[in-house]
Each structure stands twice: as structure tokens, then as C-alpha cells.
A and B are shown apart, each in its own frame.
Chain A
Amino acid sequence: MTGLPSGSDSSLAPLRDSMHAAARATAAEILDSAHTQAQALVDAAQLKAATILAAATADGEAAAQSESRMRSARVRRQAHEAVLTTRNALRLQLQGQVRESALALRTDERYPTLLDRLTERSRMLLGPDTTVTESPDGGVIAEAGSRRVDFSLPTLAAGTLDRMAPEVDGLWSR
């Protein structure tokens, strides 16, 4: 192996310098490009983070508002239900009083006449062969074969109250 001829070093110096310069320029370009790309990535990441943060904040606010509305709705519902429950309690109280009043008819002097009329009505509905017995609650129970008519006083009272439902409802809703 022989080395380069003497004097070639100085001859190659410009080439070497030029190659160095080109390499440095390329490295600088790559570095610049890398910086730019890195900055772009950081910017994009920051933008994305800001978007995610904004979306999360909006979601959180919406969820909080929704939860607050839900809670408020539940409280309102409980209040409304309390009013309705009270109304129903009054209705049931009235129902109990009407039943008591109906049962008290057993001691009324007109009770025998009432029994006669209920018996007559039972026979009209079920026919002449109907077996009619007095109900322990007052009134009569009539049977003919598989058919039965319940004219006991509590049943008649409940039926009457049902038919008067709109009028009864008016006691507390008007």
C-alpha cells in the first residue's frame, strides 16, 4: 500500500473543506427540520391537549348540570308525590268512613225494607230459583247455579263511591 503522493493533502484541502461544509449544512438542515418537526409536534400535542381539556371541561360541566337537574327533578317529584299520597290517604279515609256508615245501616229501622228490596232485585237479576242469604256484613248474597250477586252493604258502598269518583276527587282538587 502506498500513501497519497506528497502534496496531495494540500490539493485535497479545498475538497475536504467543501465536503465538511456540505455535511455541516446538511446536518444543520436536518437539525432545523427536526426542530421544526418537534415544534410542530409539540404545537399539535398542545392543541390536542387543549381540545381534550376543553371537551372534558364541557363534558364535566354538562354532566354537572345534568346531575343538578336530575337532583332537582327528584326533589320536585318527591314533593309532588307527597301531595298525591296525602290525597290518596284522604280518599282511603273517606272510603273507610263510607263503609262504616254503610255497616251502620244494619241497625237502621229501614234495614228490613232494604233487605226486601235487595232480595227482590237479586231475584230479578238471577231468576226466581235464586237462593238468597243475608251477608254477615249486612245486605244479601244471592246465588243461582254458578252465578252470584253480591249485594252486601260494603260492596254496595264501594260501588257507589267508585261511581261518584269525579265528585269525590273534587273534594281536594278543586
Chain B
Amino acid sequence: MTDPTTAPSGTERPDEGPNPGVAQISHGDVRELRGPLLVMGDVDDVGWDEFATVDFAGRERHGLVLEVDHDLVTLQVLEGTDAMAPGGVRVRFAGRPLRIPVGSGWLGRVCNGRGEPLDGGPPVTGDTTLPVSGWPLNPVYREPPQEPVLTGISVIDALTTLVRGQKLPIFSVPGLPHLTLATQIAAQATSGGTTFRVVFAAMGLTHADIAFVRDRLEERSAAGELVLLINAADDPVIERILTPRIALTIAENLAYTEGHDVLVIMSDMTSYAEAVREVSAARREIPARRGYPGYLYSDLASLYERCGRVRGQQGSVTIVPVLTMPAGDITHPVPDLTGYITEGQIVLSPEVAARGIYPPVDALSSLSRLMRSGAGAGRTREDHLDVAAQVLAALAHARQSAELAELVGAAALSETDRSYIAYRGLLEQGLLNQGHDDRRSLEDTLDRAWSALAALPRRELTMLSTEFLDRYLPSEPEAT
């Protein structure tokens, strides 16, 4: 057992070199090529999850060991096995799991899903290497998430505040601007007074989307605050299994060794899960729901649980995964299992988008379970939590009033119900709707919430103390 007192972070270990000589031997006994899998024979002294280099026809591909059975080894080839023929393939096993160099050399770089440069530069180097699968973090050394990460996006900052060390997914459906939102978060997010870094892992994105993300994040990249890992839609699918792991390994080092607050955005995790499904199908595993493997939960947890804060260390890793729910089905295995692991969700809704609101967040379905640790007096503003509760309660009432108005007509509603409908309009246009480049301060965001609340009779604002009402409530509702 590891002495917990000597390894508080659980993320740093001495750089373990491979078994000398092992990496120099290449094996040529290919028994089978099956989808992304390569089965080798006459191999010994190879371990599970070991990294391998596959040479064929003067080209180099990469693989990970999935199974070892006597002298048979099954590899998943990250770039796929297209164009490979059993005769000309040679495999070199590294004698250890895949490790990547870590450090600030990644900042400002744009790499593919395996961490190889796409920006024309040399490969990223570092004095230390770490295994991409990460080290299990001693639970005793975990610190609860605390302090906000401010995104400059009103609906998130005000109503579902992101907290340092939290994992908060964005649930969306195809066609909604989830990538625009994720990119805006990546471009704008900060945490008070500390150095902030962003690792953006893009999986299965089209080239148009990639161009958009690169343009929007250029400012942050030029400032040396961003690492961009890109697996395009036409890149090898299996690479996607590695992309979030590389992103998190880079992030852990930046956070726990270099002391930065790091935000990791992973978009789109449904594409990642599809890669897991593809490998599982090739291995002929028994499929569980919708063909995904039964271990999808633990696989996703092995990624999401790498966020957090560690006792005695300055930095933090905050994760925002983006998921598209096929056919908007929130019970689909990927959002369903993600929901079990993460601490809340930001839900995007086609109905909200249809009303011309960006970001189209369904505020009543969204929740940040750790908001209390990141908002309120001493963290954001004294009235923040109460205002958020009042805004949501009033929004729920407004939704009921609107439904009633559809039945009986707006003219038949009471004065109070009409004020709730007016409040919803003000809230949507004043607070929830925002420009793609618009970065709002928290003060501005909360003031906008108060302006919308001013449309309601004061007697309806039961969640706010008289002191707060006197201090913050505008005397006249502001037209927006």
C-alpha cells in the first residue's frame, strides 16, 4: 500500500522508465485483424493497458493492450487497422501504459486526439511524463469543491453557478448551439484572482466546427492559457478513447503541480461513448443498453472523477462535458449514466431556442448541486443564492400562468398572473438572452435579475429578505 502521507495528491509519481530492451523488440506474429483490433501471438511479458507502436509499410500507428491470454495479446489500434495486412505488421510494446509529457509546454498548442501537433510545431515535450489513465486519487485527500468559476454567461453564473472542482455537464440535442456555449465558456471563464487555464478536448467535430472553435479561442490560446485537443469527425474513432484522458492528464499536472485552476471542456462525450461502443462490439462483449457496454458507467466515472481539489495543493480541475442526447432522450445511456456521476446539469432546450434565446438553457431543468459552495456572501454576492431561488420560483409560477393564459386567455388572468408573464418576458430578454461574445460581470447579471423581479408585486417576493429588497430592488421595472 502507498503511504498516503508521502503522496498527498495521488497524481505525481517518479517517472517510471520502461523495462530496458522491451521497447526495442518488435513482434511480427499477427494472428487476426478485426475492426480496430489486432491480435498478436508469440508474445510474453506484456501487461494489460500497455502502450504499443505498430509499424507497417513505413508508417507508424499506436495501440493499447486490451487483453492478454497466454501468448496471445489483443491490441486496440487507435488509428484503426485500415490498409493493414497480417504479413507486414510489426508491433513494439512499450513495457508500460501510455505516458505523455506534461507541463506548460502544452499551453498555446493545438494537437490532435492523440496529442500530436496540428499547428505545424514540434511535438510537445516536458521534463516529466505521466500515464494518461491517471493515478487513483486518495479519497481522504479530496477537498470539497469551493469558490465559483465565473463564465460571464448570466444564466449559468446566476442560476447554476459552476464551482471550482465541480463536474457539471451540458445536456443538449443535435442542432442546438451547445458547442457555441461550450466555446464561450472556454473563452470567458475565470476564477477570482487565480491563474486560470482551459483544456478543450473536441471529439467528433466537423471541420467547420473546429474552425469556429479555433477562431473563438484564439485570444486565450495566444495568451498561453489554452490547450486544444481536436479529434475531427473524420479522424479515427478509436482515438477518441484517448482524447479526454490526455486532456485530463495535462489538466491534472497544470492544476496540482503548477497550481492553476483548470477548466476541462469535453465535447462531445456522446461521440466518445460511441468509440467505446465500437471497441466493445469488436471485442464481442455482451452489449447492454442500446449496444453500449455494461461498464460504460465505470468508464465515464474514470474520466469525470478526475476533477476536484486536493488537500495541500493550490489548483483545481473543473470539468464541463457536453453531451448530445440522441432524439432529445434524457434516458439515453450516456446522459443517464453521466447524470449519476456528475453534480448537476445544464439542460439546453429546443423550445427555448425557438423563442430566439441564446443560450437556450432550460433554467427550470438545470441545476448545479454544488452552487451553495460557490455562491453567496464572501464568494459572489450576499443576495446571490436568495435571488437565484426567487428567480427560479417566479419562473415556475410564470410558466403556470402562461399555461393558464393559453386556456382562458390573458385578459381573464389576475393582475398577479399577468405580472408573472411580464416578469418572464423581462427575465428572458434581460437576463437569459445574451450575445455570443457578451461577457457579463456577476454584478451586472444579478442586477438584471433584480430588474426582472421588479415586474412582480413586492408581496410576491417572499424568498427575499426585506433588507435585500430595500437594498437591491429597483423602484420601477426597467423596460428591456
Which residues of A approach B to under 8 Å, CB–CB? Answer: 62, 65-66, 69-70, 73-74, 76-77, 80-81, 83-85, 87-88, 91, 121, 124-126, 145-151, 159, 165-166, 168-169, 173
Known: A76-B222, A149-B25. A81 touches B122 (CB 8 A): no
B30, closest chain A residue (CB): A146
- How many Å lie between the Cα of A151 and that of B343 in the bound state? 53
Instruction: Please judge, given known A-B contacts A80-B108, A146-B41, A169-B125, whether A62 and B435 are in contact too, CB under 8 Å.
Output: yes
User: Do residues A66 and B436 form an inter-chain contact, with CB atoms below 8 A?
Assistant: yes
B219: nearest chain-A partner, CB-CB: A73
9 A-B pairs besides A70-B216, A73-B216 with CB distance below 8 A are A65-B437, A69-B219, A84-B119, A88-B122, A91-B122, A147-B42, A149-B26, A150-B26, A169-B125
* Complex contact B28–A146 (CB within 8 A): yes
Instruction: Report the interface size class on chain B.
Output: 20 to 34
Provide the bound-state CA to CA distance between A173 and B29, in Å: 42
Q: Are the C-beta atoms of B24 and A73 separated by less than 8 Å?
A: no
**What is the distance, in angstroms, from A39's C-beta to the closest C-beta of chain B?**
21
Residues of B within 8 Å of A77, CB to CB, are 214, 218, 221-222
Expressed in whole angstroms, the Cα–Cα distance for A173 and B435 within the complex equals 39
Query: B120 on the interface (CB 8 Å rule)?
Result: yes
Chain A residue contacts of B125, Cβ below 8 A: 165-166, 168-169
- Tell me whether B214 and A88 are in contact (CB under 8 A): no
For chain B, residues 20 to 52, give those with C-beta under 8 angstroms from any C-beta of chain A: 21, 24-29, 41-42
Residues from chain A with a CB closer than 8 A to the CB of B117 are 84, 88
- The residues of B that contact A145 with a CB separation of less than 8 Å are 29, 42
Would you call B121 and A166 a contact (CB within 8 A)?
A: no
CB atoms of B26 and A148 under 8 A apart: yes
> In residues 433-456 of chain B, which contact A (Cβ within 8 Å)?
435-437
* Chain B interface residues (CB < 8 Å from chain A): 21, 24-29, 41-42, 90, 101, 105, 108, 117, 119-123, 125-127, 214-216, 218-219, 221-222, 435-437
Are B29 and A169 touching (Cβ within 8 A)?
A: no
- For B25, what are the chain A residues with a Cβ–Cβ distance below 8 Å? 125-126, 147-149
**B435 proximity list for chain A (CB < 8 A):** 62
* B42 pairs with A165, CB closer than 8 A: no
Rounded to whole angstroms, the CA-CA distance of A150 and B23 in the bound complex is: 10
User: Is B101 a contact partner of A84 (Cβ separation < 8 A)?
Assistant: no
Contact B41 A73 (CB under 8 A): no
A166, B127: Cβ atoms closer than 8 Å: yes
Which residues of B lie under 8 Å from residue A85 when comparing CB positions? 120-121
Instruction: Give complex CA distance A173, B122 in Å.
Output: 11
- Do B222 and A165 touch (CB < 8 A)? no
Q: Considering the complex, give the chain B residue whose CB is closest to the CB of A151.
A: B24
CB–CB A166/B126 < 8 A: yes
Chain B's nearest CB lies how many Å from the CB of A158?
A: 11
Tell whether, in the assembled complex, residue A169 and residue B26 are in contact, meaning their CB atoms are under 8 Å apart.
no
Q: In the complex, are the beta carbons of A73 and B218 less than 8 A apart? A: yes
Inter-chain contacts of B437 with A (CB < 8 A)? 62, 65-66, 69
Among B24, B29, B125, B221, residue most surrounded by chain A Cβ atoms (within 10 Å): B24
Question: Which residues of B sit under 8 angstroms from A148, Cβ to Cβ?
Answer: 25-28, 90
Distance in angstroms between the alpha carbons of A50 and B282 in the assembled complex: 62
Asked whether B21 lies within 8 Å of A125 as measured between CB atoms, the reply is: yes
Report yes or no: B24 in contact with A84, Cβ–Cβ below 8 A: no
Q: Let me know if B120 and A88 touch, CB within 8 A.
A: yes
Q: Which residues of chain A are within 8 angstroms of B123 by Cβ–Cβ distance? A: 165
Residues of A within 8 A of B42 (CB): 145-147
User: Which B residues lie within 8 Å of A76 (CB)?
Assistant: 218, 222
B24 x A125 contact (CB < 8 A):
yes
**Interchain CB contact under 8 A, A84 and B218:** no
Residues of A within 8 A of B215 (CB): 70, 73-74
The 5 A-B pairs of least Cβ separation, nearest first, read: A84-B121, A73-B218, A146-B29, A85-B120, A165-B125
In the complex with contacts A62-B435, A88-B121, A166-B125, A147-B28 CB distance below 8 A: yes
CA gap between A127 and B352 in the complex, in Å: 70
Give complex CA distance A99, B25 in Å: 21
User: By the criterion CB–CB under 8 Å, are B26 and A81 in contact?
Assistant: no
List the B side residues contacting A165 at CB < 8 Å. 101, 123, 125
Query: Could you tell me if B24 and A150 are in contact, using CB atoms closer than 8 angstroms?
Result: yes
Q: Which residues in B have their C-beta under 8 angstroms from that of A124?
A: 21
Of the candidates A74, A83, A91, A173, which one forms a contact with B218 in the assembled complex, judged by CB atoms under 8 Å apart?
A74
How far, in Å, is B107 (CB) from chain A's closest CB?
A: 12
Task: Provide the residues of chain A in CB contact with B214, threshold 8 Å.
Answer: 77
User: A136: shortest Cβ distance to chain B, in Å?
Assistant: 15
CB distance from B16 to the nearest CB of A (A): 15
Query: Can you pick out 28 interface pairs between chain A and chain B where the beta carbons lie within 8 Å of each other?
Result: A62-B435, A66-B436, A66-B437, A69-B219, A73-B218, A73-B222, A74-B215, A76-B218, A77-B221, A77-B222, A80-B221, A81-B120, A83-B121, A88-B120, A88-B121, A125-B21, A125-B25, A145-B29, A147-B26, A147-B27, A147-B28, A148-B25, A148-B28, A148-B90, A150-B26, A165-B123, A169-B122, A169-B125
CA distance A126 to B44 in the complex (A): 12
- Enumerate chain B residues within 8 angstroms of A84, measured Cβ to Cβ: 117, 119-122
Docked CA distance A99–B101 (Å): 24
CA A101 to CA B25, docked complex, whole Å: 24
Q: Please measure, in the bound complex, the distance between the C-alpha atom of A149 and the C-alpha atom of B92, giving whole angstroms.
A: 10
In angstroms, Cα B25 to Cα A173, docked, is 34
Q: How far is the CA of A74 from the CA of B215 in the complex (A)?
A: 7
In the complex, how many angstroms separate the beta carbon of B449 from the nearest chain A beta carbon?
22
Contact B218 A166 (CB under 8 A): no
Q: For B122, what are the chain A residues with a Cβ–Cβ distance below 8 Å? A: 84, 87-88, 91, 169
How far apart are A150's CB and chain B's nearest CB, in angstroms?
7
Minimal Cβ-Cβ distance residue in A for B438? A62
Chain A residue contacts of B28, Cβ below 8 A: 146-148
| Contact A81–B119 (Cβ < 8 Å) | yes
Chain A residues contacting B119 (CB-CB under 8 Å) are 80-81, 84
